Structure 1
């Protein structure tokens, strides 16, 4: 790539794109199905668990006001602790997903990418 006198970027080399058939074969491959299964096996249950946890918090805040206003320590009540727990679980789930992706998803995706680029699919 180089810059022309007009300030625009001009591409001097072209990078060949894989044939669409390569992507079809990749999508049908057992490795790709394993990658999808690994992602879904983590993402779907964790998403459902977090949504249930969040919905429980909203329902308790709306319909169990007395329970949520139960003092725990001084002015800190149960509702405040549960709402803080929402933040903690958000960060926990993010950390768990990053760890899962680094261990299970990224290596499989990288192997598939290399196969596509080398035309071995």
Structure 2
């Protein structure tokens, strides 16, 4: 049986990746991005779950007509689309202000490590 051995070039690339992964900018990037995604996902699931629970257990409330042709159920249903746009906008905003600067700092670490 042959055993897979990596080339010196592959080992060097892995060493760089490992060092970048241990760097503070990269760890902060992963931490901040993960925190945002978890919060956005939790809120989105709760909003949709609340909508489904209201549909299932409060049909009379959801049948409330707000204006002719628009019930509370339709309004909350359409709010799901608005939620997607808001979360997308927030992610882009966080990316520009937080994630990209951290990514650039992590790339500098990678360049420094590769230059050694």
Among candidates 90, 95, 98, match of residue 96 of structure 1:
90
Matched, 1:115 2:115: no
Query: Relative contact order, CA 8 A, sep 6+: which one is greater?
Result: 2
Residues 52/73 of structure 1: CA separation in 2 closer, same or farther (3 Å cut): same
Structure 1: stretches of 5+ with no match in the other structure: 1-15
* One of 61, 70, 75 as aligned partner of 1:67: 61
> How high is the TM-score relative to the length of structure 2?
0.81
Runs of 5+ consecutive residues of structure 2 not aligned to the other structure: 1-8
Classify 1:67/1:94 alpha carbon distance in 2 versus 1 (closer, same or farther; 3 Å). same
- Quote the Cα distance in structure 2 between the aligned partners of 1:50 and 1:75: 26
* CA deviation string 1:37-73 (max 9, x = no partner): 1112211111101110011111111221111101111
Q: Which residue of 2 aligns with 1:10?
A: none
Please report the RMSD computed on the Cα atoms of aligned residues, expressed in angstroms.
1.9
Question: After the TM superposition, which parts of structure 1 deviate over 2 Å for at least 4 consecutive aligned residues?
Answer: none
1:26 alignment partner, one of 16, 20, 30 = 20
Partner of 1:51: 45
Q: How many residues align?
A: 106
- Distance in 1 (alpha carbons) for counterparts of 2:78 and 2:60: 18
Given that 2:16 and 2:110 are in contact with CA atoms closer than 8 Å, whether structure 1 keeps it comes out as yes
Offset of residue 101 of structure 1: 0.7
One of 35, 41, 44 as aligned partner of 1:41: 35
Structure 1 or 2: more helix by fraction = 2
